[in-house]
């Protein structure tokens, strides 16, 4: 790779918490690709589902503070690897673009100037920005034994009027990244269905039922792994998989990778460097 | 949809089956208000205590306790999560947005 790329980075709470394997993975893989992540100083939680379910104004104000901090730090591009964080940031940008005084109101609430003009990137968009041709050229270990079900979940592509990313019902962008890595992908039915997201603790049965449908469908279509770009999708499909198996008396054994895991493996990194050994379901590809 | 949720909460119309969900979300926001970022272990303790007091079911307190050592082995549990330096500004943001639904 030639020339270092610097982008602003909003990790969000999950990547500094129980999904720290995701942060390890993307830092390792982007490091090889010469991408430097510049973390927004003193970022706060985006409020996640709790804020938008209980308090609309707060659900705009919390991400607005982060946008303002990123702008203050001079970031023209801001990478948010959690699709919920990313969507919340985009939602604020769309809301303040309306020109009805909301920008000034939010600036007063968050005690910082707010323009709302930066580019917000999800993980797939970071690889697109690097360039899939460059990515392909950097591959050292083509992923010939991987047959992946690409799982987008709810928020990478929805709401379409907010995120404006890929086809919101039949997305293909993750498949394009995997093709560059030499992996095969399957056509399946659940790539944009919900996994239950933040309901893991409050409504576990809902999450287990949804996760079972997703995992069973990926298996039925011949996938030997599921690939995600979201910390909550990974928690529900990987950490909760044993509970799904117990609830349905069924052995699934489906390995769940972050997209950055597979990019990293193709670039020649070891599973331990990417945090893959810290997943709950682990096995060698056959 | 979110507007309907806010209205049903304000008018005390939350379905009994959904009360743990609301308790979780309220504990989540309270956690952020105090820390600026989510402190996961604290949230779990806060949420389980709230559900226990609302339902009186002690079993819920220990549900999923078996996951803790597995998460710890994978370095996924953080007793002391990073806090935001300027937590006062977070408190002020919450105060300016208050609609009474967080508590």
Banded model confidence at residue A203, pLDDT cuts 50, 70, 90:
confident
- Mind listing the pLDDT tens digit for each residue in A130-146? 999 999 999 999 999 99
Contact B2 A59 (CB under 8 A): yes
Among the partner residues A55, A239, A280, nearest to B97 by beta-carbon distance: A55
Query: Among candidates A218, A239, A231, A286, which has minimal Cα distance to A258?
Result: A231
Q: What is the ipTM of this complex?
A: 0.92
Query: Among candidates A236, A87, A79, A89, which has minimal Cα distance to A151?
Result: A236
CATH 3.40.50.11810 fits A131-278, yes or no: yes
Greatest CA separation for chain B: 44
Among the partner residues B21, B71, B102, nearest to A202 by beta-carbon distance: B21
Chain B contact set for A109 (CB, 8 A):
93, 96-97
- Give ranges for CATH 3.40.50.11810 in chain A: 131-278
- The answer to whether the beta carbons of residues A62 and A44 sit under 8 Å apart is yes
Contact B32 A18 (CB under 8 A): no
Other beta carbons within 10 Å of B80: 7
Banded model confidence at residue A270, pLDDT cuts 50, 70, 90:
very high
Angle between helices A83-96 and A56-72 (to 10 degrees): 90
What is the domain extent for residue B49? 2-8+15-97
Contact B5 A65 (CB under 8 A): no
Contact A109 B47 (CB under 8 A): no
Banded model confidence at residue A200, pLDDT cuts 50, 70, 90:
confident
CATH for A5-121 is 1.20.1050.140
- The answer to whether the beta carbons of residues A33 and A135 sit under 8 Å apart is yes
Residue A231 near chain B (CB below 8 Å): no
Residue A51 near chain B (CB below 8 Å): yes
Predicted confidence (pLDDT) at residue A242 exceeds the cutoff of 50:
yes
Contact A203 B21 (CB under 8 A): yes
Q: How far apart are CA A11 and CA A13, in angstroms?
A: 7
What is the pTM for the complete model shown? 0.94
Which of the 8 DSSP states describes residue A77? E
- The answer to whether the beta carbons of residues B75 and A278 sit under 8 Å apart is yes
First to last CA, chain B: 21
Please report, to the nearest 10 degrees, the dihedral formed by the alpha carbons of residues A54, A104, A75, A150 taken in order: 30
Contact B101 A55 (CB under 8 A): yes
- The answer to whether the beta carbons of residues A76 and A119 sit under 8 Å apart is yes
- Region of A149 (left: φ > 0; alpha: ψ -120 to 50; beta: rest) is beta
Chain A contact set for B92 (CB, 8 A):
111
Q: What pLDDT is attached to residue B8? A: 86
- Mind listing the pLDDT tens digit for each residue in A11-40? 999 999 999 999 999 999 999 999 999 999
Q: What is the mean pLDDT of residues A69-79?
A: 97
> Could you tell me the CA-to-CA distances from A165 to A34, A123, B21 in Å, in that order?
25, 12, 30
Residue B55 near chain A (CB below 8 Å): no
Q: Which residue of A has its CA nearest to B80?
A: A17
Q: How far apart are CA B38 and CA B36, in angstroms?
A: 7
- Give ranges for CATH 1.20.1050.140 in chain A: 5-121
- Mind listing the pLDDT tens digit for each residue in B3-54? 888 888 888 888 888 888 899 999 999 999 999 999 999 999 889 888 888 7
Among the partner residues A43, A45, A199, nearest to B21 by beta-carbon distance: A199
Count of helices and strands (H, E) across chain B: 6, 0
Contact A44 B84 (CB under 8 A): yes
Does B103 reside within a domain?
Answer: no
Does B102 reside within a domain?
Answer: no
Number of domains in chain B: 1
Q: How far apart are CA A148 and CA A195, in angstroms?
A: 17
Q: How far apart are CA A56 and CA A60, in angstroms?
A: 7
Contact A53 B5 (CB under 8 A): yes
CA angle A264, A266, A267 (to 5 degrees): 65
> Could you tell me the CA-to-CA distances from A244 to A77, A224, A247, A278 in Å, in that order?
38, 18, 5, 19
How far apart are the CA of B94 and the nearest CA of chain A, in angstroms?
7
Residues 4-33 of A with CB under 8 A from B: 13-14, 16-21
> Could you tell me the CA-to-CA distances from A95 to A99, A106, A115, A247 in Å, in that order?
8, 10, 11, 42
Among the partner residues B20, B77, B84, nearest to A42 by beta-carbon distance: B84
Q: Report the range of poorest mean pLDDT among A20-29, A105-114, A197-206.
A: A197-206
Assign B80 to helix, strand or coil: coil
């Amino acid at each position: 790779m030639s020339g270092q790329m610097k982008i602003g980075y909003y990790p969000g709470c999950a990547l500094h918490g129980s999904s720290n394997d995701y942060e390890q993975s993307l830092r390792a893989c982007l490091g090889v690709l010469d991408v430097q992540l510049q973390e927004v100083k003193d970022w706060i939680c985006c409020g996640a589902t709790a804020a938008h379910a209980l308090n609309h104004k707060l659900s705009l104000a919390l991400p607005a503070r982060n946008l303002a901090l990123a702008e203050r730090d001079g970031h023209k591009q801001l990478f948010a690897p959690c699709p919920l964080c990313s969507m919340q940031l985009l939602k604020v940008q769309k809301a303040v673009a309306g020109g009805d005084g909301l920008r000034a109101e939010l600036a007063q609430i968050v005690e910082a100037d707010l323009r709302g003009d930066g580019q917000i990137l999800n993980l797939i968009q970071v690889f697109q920005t690097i360039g899939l041709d460059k990515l392909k050229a950097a591959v050292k270990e083509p992923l010939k034994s991987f047959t992946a079900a690409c799982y987008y979940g709810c928020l990478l592509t929805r709401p379409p009027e907010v995120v404006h990313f890929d086809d919101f019902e039949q997305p293909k962008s993750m498949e394009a990244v995997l093709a560059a890595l030499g992996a095969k992908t399957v056509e399946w039915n659940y790539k944009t269905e919900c996994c239950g997201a933040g309901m893991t603790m409050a409504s576990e049965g809902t999450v287990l039922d949804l996760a079972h449908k997703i995992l069973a469908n990926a298996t039925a279509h011949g996938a030997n792994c599921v690939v995600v770009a979201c910390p909550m999708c990974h928690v529900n499909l990987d950490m909760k998989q044993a509970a799904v198996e117990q609830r349905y008396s069924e052995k699934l054994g489906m390995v769940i990778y972050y997209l950055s895991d597979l990019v990293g493996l193709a670039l020649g990194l070891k599973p331990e460097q990417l945090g893959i050994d810290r997943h709950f379901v682990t096995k060698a590809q056959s | 949809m979110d507007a309907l949720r806010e209205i049903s909460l304000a008018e005390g119309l939350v379905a009994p089956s959904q009360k743990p969900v609301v308790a979780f979300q309220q504990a989540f926001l309270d956690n952020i208000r105090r820390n600026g970022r989510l402190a996961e272990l604290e949230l779990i303790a806060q949420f389980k205590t709230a559900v226990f007091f609302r339902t009186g079911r002690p079993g819920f307190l220990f549900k999923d306790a078996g996951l803790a050592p597995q998460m710890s082995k994978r370095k996924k549990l953080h007793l002391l999560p990073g806090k935001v330096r300027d937590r006062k500004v977070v408190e002020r943001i919450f105060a300016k947005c208050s609609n009474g639904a967080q508590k």
